[in-house]
Structure 1
Amino acid sequence: MVLRLNIDQIEPATRDWICKVQIVEIGRPRESLDKKCTFQNLILEDEQECQIRAVMYTDEIEQYVSTLKLFNTYLISTAKVKVSLTSYGKPIHRFYWILDKETVIEEIKPSDEVEKPLSPPNKLTITSFDRIPHLMVDSTAEIDVLAVVLHCGPQKTAGRSHHKCREITLCDNQQNQFLFTLWEDFGEIEGHEIYSKMATQRDLLVILGRSIGISTYQGLSLQTRYNSTVRVNPNYPQAVALLNWAKQNKTMLLSSPSDTTSTSSSITPMIVTPSGQQLLSIADISSAASMGVFCVNAEMAILDEFQDFCVLECSGCKQKKRTKDRKDFHCPKCNRKTSLVPRCSFQIDLIDNTATTTASISAELGEKLLSMTAEDIFDITCTKRQSLSLNPVHEMLSTKVFDIQLRKSSWTSSNTTTTTLSILSYMEKQHPPQSTTDRTSKKIKPLEISEVEVMPTTAAAAPSNAVGKLQPPTPTKKV
């Protein structure tokens, strides 16, 4: 006897079952990690809105290409039921199905008088942007996001691994923003689709990303993973509502900080601090033993005017070099002849009513603060051997308080544990408090943590190994 069951009632040992499902997501065919086969992921939803991943391989992909369609309803019998692996992230269900040659798949037509198709799906388990910073401690976390696309960059090569990627800026209806990195074929296919549509369409786009990972690449950001899917302008009610909101607020969204991050058009957008995240004082962050991402309300000041405001790094692996000579050299990490490029990097002081501390700020965030590019900074400080004129920066910072997102990180080298703060994002508060702190207040002692050995972390702008030790510099006059 064939059992009519829902998804949650079906286990690997279940025999002779049939389940009524609707296809709510179809991924495109992709190569396996070992390049030995082609697979295609689908997400199925039953009458109770329970969802499960199904996978097809090469032969079945070709067999069902004209049969399995998005949002169509099917009766599926005796698919292979397997335990979901957690190697590539947290699955949507504890099991997944394999649709093979022995699986019976029968489409339910709209004209069918016995079996009626399921209603269009409206279930989306979306993670709000203000929840993302709290999830970054779990490296396996995978989330679904629905967001407006503000900017889509060109395909590029990132980091030491020379993997290709494409970076896009996402925004929710609270104007929170995150950088979303489409790696490898996602950048080539879905990224190209987004890039092309943004170049030809007047309206902004909305994307639905499923099984998206949380990463510390480019600060705190999102990235595609092995089982991810990305769909443009899906017809879920939530997506339609968000798209209508984006159309009504297009002018405001495109004038947001993400489009004015830097004077350089090649710089990627900054990551805006998500609203609603718990605020801590500088004293609390400095004394906390835990590592992670925190938010503070603080003033900013550059007390050390004679520090180096940029470094040279390998254009391939992003490894920082101590030299100021930009001639080509053979990089041992890249194993090829390459050039050195300037990157903005300096120390800035953060001040609230509890303490003062020093944090590092780099790349596009530093350039935005100084209102100049890394090339300009290098030309002034290294080529012309002049000091930067910081009076406009001092004047700009003197009356402002910022929402600042910080990452506290540490690494151990030669039995010494070093702890640093680095700025992931900042945004001016609209209503700063009446009283301000004394900018000449004494700095707190360097950050300390327990003697427990901690593995390295880094705040580099692209995936890399731990960067060199960062300490508050002692002001000295350049010669």
Structure 2
Amino acid sequence: MSVEVLVNDVKPNTYQWTCRLTLIEKQNIRTAKTSPMKFMPMILQDSTGTKVQATAFQGDIEGIDQRLSVYSTYLISNAYVKPVTQMRYCIDVNYPYVWSFNRRTLIQDVDAPEGVDFREIAESETAAFRDIFDSYQHATRINILGAIVKKLPRTFIVSDGKQRTAWDVVVINEECIPLPFTMWEEFVSKHGGEIEKLLNSGGYPLVLINRVAINLFQGLALSTRYDCHMELNPDGARALSLKKWVDGNAIKIATLVQDKAYNDALSIISKPLAQPRSTLSGLETGLLEVIVVWVLGKFSLVDTSQEFFYIGCNYCNRRVYGPEGITFQCLFCGQKLGTTTKR
């Protein structure tokens, strides 16, 4: 007979156990890097807040995917448990194990723990936009909640000689900070159609993104990663408050989009003049513990006879053989209204 336990009580040598868990994330189906094997990671949480990653593989994916629903609670019995091989794949540092689900895993529907709203918990764990640059500096993974207010022209990018689907959208929240956000491949396939439909109808879809990637491409931008989780139009209290704000500030949002304020996200969030500055000699010490360093200096041209620019796409900066000021569709990034610009 199985005994009901908490996640922390389940180890590889634990037998005949049952755990009450709520599914809080169901990630995209992915293919292993070194083999054609497909797998679908999921994240579950018990009543104490301890999280565990469980994975379904190959022929078990469809059955498990149909059986489990996000924010529903189940009794899970006797899943396969093994240690995490690399801690970067550990979803909870206090529980260094992962589970595997298959068609033999016993799954029973039960009521959620009384007084626990996992939707509210997920939304409360989101970061403020003003803290995103600091998170980047310290390589901290964050979650964000925002409204998608515009889709930009790009539809693909050429990377490592391959054309990959990539959509750029603009997200905003109550802080009035618009940020560019890139959705890659499977996220476009899964959510792109609904996002475009809502935008075309005049609506602004809300999006909750867990473990969003932060990069400094052309300033500051966000993007999906292989282990991101995206949820469109979450319906917790935090999301409802954001939706009310968006509906009441449509004119302000439209002005920010028209002014392309999202192109200046790095300056808005990082506030360079308020940041500590380094000297050039300080950069050579190798003792800096942050990713971005601000240096106050003056440029001087040693040789004014040479050219200090090339002609390239105004979006992806890739070189294009042509004169300046031509409107074209870039074959590197898919920008349909690209402009040849000095770079």
Displacement, 1:70?
Answer: 2.3
- Provide the residue aligned with 1:169 in structure 2: 170
- Provide the residue aligned with 1:120 in structure 2: 117
Distance in 2 (alpha carbons) for counterparts of 1:310 and 1:231: 42
- Quick one: which amino acid aligns to residue 180 of structure 2? L
Q: Indicate conservation of the 8 Å contact 2:51/2:92, yes or no.
A: yes
Aligned with residue 98 of structure 1, among 97, 100, 107:
100
Distance in 2 (alpha carbons) for counterparts of 1:150 and 1:296: 34
Q: Indicate conservation of the 8 Å contact 2:213/2:224, yes or no.
A: yes
- Provide the residue aligned with 1:203 in structure 2: 203
Distance in 2 (alpha carbons) for counterparts of 1:278 and 1:20: 48
Query: Structure 1 pair 245/62, CA: closer, same or farther in 2 (3 Å)?
Result: same
Displacement, 1:105?
Answer: 0.9
Displacement, 1:215?
Answer: 2.1
Distance in 2 (alpha carbons) for counterparts of 1:199 and 1:221: 23
Within 5 Å, give how 1:372-387 maps onto structure 2.
none
Q: Deviation digits for residues 396-443 of structure 1, max 9, x if unmatched?
A: xxxxxxxxxxxxxxxxxxxxxxxxxxxxxxxxxxxxxxxxxxxxxxxx
Query: Structure 1 pair 83/171, CA: closer, same or farther in 2 (3 Å)?
Result: farther
- Provide the residue aligned with 2:191 in structure 1: 190
Displacement, 1:275?
Answer: 4.3
1:157 aligns with 2:148: no
Displacement, 1:45?
Answer: 1.9
- Provide the residue aligned with 2:25 in structure 1: 25
- SS at 2:165's partner residue? strand
Task: Report which of the two structures shows the higher radius of gyration computed on alpha carbons.
Answer: 1
- SS at 1:194's partner residue? helix
Displacement, 1:310?
Answer: 6.2
User: Between Structure 1 and Structure 2, which shows a larger proportion of helix residues?
Assistant: 2
- SS at 1:136's partner residue? helix
Distance in 2 (alpha carbons) for counterparts of 1:316 and 1:172: 24
Q: Indicate conservation of the 8 Å contact 1:47/1:118, yes or no.
A: no
Displacement, 1:171?
Answer: 1.5
- Provide the residue aligned with 2:255 in structure 1: 255
Within 5 Å, give how 1:419-434 maps onto structure 2.
none
Q: Indicate conservation of the 8 Å contact 1:280/1:296, yes or no.
A: no
- Provide the residue aligned with 1:147 in structure 2: 146
Within 5 Å, give how 1:350-389 maps onto structure 2.
none
Q: Indicate conservation of the 8 Å contact 2:147/2:172, yes or no.
A: yes
- Quick one: which amino acid aligns to residue 198 of structure 1? L
- SS at 1:293's partner residue? coil
Distance in 2 (alpha carbons) for counterparts of 1:189 and 1:154: 19
Within 5 Å, give how 1:281-300 maps onto structure 2.
284=278, 288-289=282-283, 290=288, 292-293=291-292
Q: Which runs of 5+ in 1 are unaligned?
A: 263-267, 298-305, 327-333, 335-339, 346-479
Q: Which runs of 5+ in 2 are unaligned?
A: 297-304, 325-331, 333-337
Q: Indicate conservation of the 8 Å contact 2:64/2:102, yes or no.
A: no
Query: Structure 1 pair 277/98, CA: closer, same or farther in 2 (3 Å)?
Result: farther
Q: Deviation digits for residues 104-147 of structure 1, max 9, x if unmatched?
A: 11112x5xxxx9777431212222222221232456x4321111
Q: Indicate conservation of the 8 Å contact 1:155/1:187, yes or no.
A: no
Distance in 1 (alpha carbons) for counterparts of 2:277 and 2:255: 35
Displacement, 1:320?
Answer: 4.0
Distance in 1 (alpha carbons) for counterparts of 2:265 and 2:306: 26
- SS at 1:219's partner residue? coil
Displacement, 1:285?
Answer: 6.1
* Percent sequence identity over aligned pairs: 20
TM-score (structure 1 length as normaliser): 0.56
Q: Indicate conservation of the 8 Å contact 2:277/2:294, yes or no.
A: no
Q: Indicate conservation of the 8 Å contact 1:20/1:73, yes or no.
A: yes
Distance in 2 (alpha carbons) for counterparts of 1:53 and 1:2: 21
Distance in 2 (alpha carbons) for counterparts of 1:283 and 1:18: 55
